[in-house]
């Protein structure tokens, strides 16, 4: 085994030493783990920042007990469920939008912070486009890639309505089409 000196910022070395002590490991062992993780990360063409985003997104999904589902399966399931009660289906999506909104508020308490959160995690969202325009009096959200039918877009609009209400906004209206949603909301007085 060949030893090599590695230079690092003093504060990082101090923090690493404290972490090594907590874990009953040597700094040598932790540095090897870190270097191995970094090399594996770049081999799969990801950056350390992307890996952290993925881990944080996974924690959010875990908090929501979310299950990844292919868009086509979700869309077809919505079509079947709407045959029973489209109204109840929309209410369900609205209610779950509120749940997601409450969780997001713990991470991003304001609309401007929500916009930054979405910007930071945009690459992980299964959408073609997600734009959130924040104004002093409200917001406009435009999304494309929200499924394959107007119904899936309508459900998405209901979820957005619930989410935005947790931020104290009232939805003025929604435009929906196959895979497209545009929602405008204003601040409650």
Rounded Cα–Cα distance for residues 78 and 88 (Å) = 11
User: CA 152, CA 113: separation in Å to the nearest integer?
Assistant: 27
pLDDT of residue 124: 84
The tens place of each residue's pLDDT in the chain, 189 residues long, gives: 777 888 889 999 899 999 999 999 998 999 999 999 999 999 999 999 999 999 999 998 899 898 889 989 999 999 999 999 999 999 999 999 999 999 999 999 999 999 999 888 888 888 889 999 988 889 999 999 988 999 999 999 999 999 999 999 999 999 999 999 999 999 987
Distance CA 99, CA 166 (A): 9
Q: In the chain, count of helices (H) and strands (E)?
A: 6, 4
- pTM (2 decimals)? 0.81
8-state DSSP, 184: E
Quick check: helix, strand or coil at residue 133?
Answer: strand
- Separation between Cα atoms, residue 178 and residue 127, nearest integer Å: 13
């Amino acid at each position: 085994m060949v030893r090599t000196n590695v230079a690092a910022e003093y504060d990082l070395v101090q923090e690493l030493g404290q972490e090594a002590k907590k874990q009953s490991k040597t700094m040598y062992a932790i540095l090897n783990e870190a270097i191995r993780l970094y090399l594996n990360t770049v081999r799969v063409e990801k950056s350390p920042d992307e890996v952290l985003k993925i881990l944080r997104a996974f924690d959010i999904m875990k908090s929501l007990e979310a299950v990844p589902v292919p868009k086509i399966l979700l869309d077809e399931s919505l079509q079947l469920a709407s045959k029973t009660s489209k109204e109840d289906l929309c209410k369900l999506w609205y209610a779950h939008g509120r749940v997601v909104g409450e969780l997001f508020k713990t991470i991003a308490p304001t609309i401007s912070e929500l916009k930054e959160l979405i910007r930071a995690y945009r690459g992980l969202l299964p959408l073609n486009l997600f734009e959130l325009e924040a104004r002093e009096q409200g917001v406009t959200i435009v999304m494309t890639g929200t499924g394959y039918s107007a119904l899936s877009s309508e459900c998405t609009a209901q979820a957005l309505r619930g989410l935005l209400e947790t931020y104290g906004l009232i939805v003025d209206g929604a435009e929906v089409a196959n895979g497209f949603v545009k929602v405008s909301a204003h601040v409650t007085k």
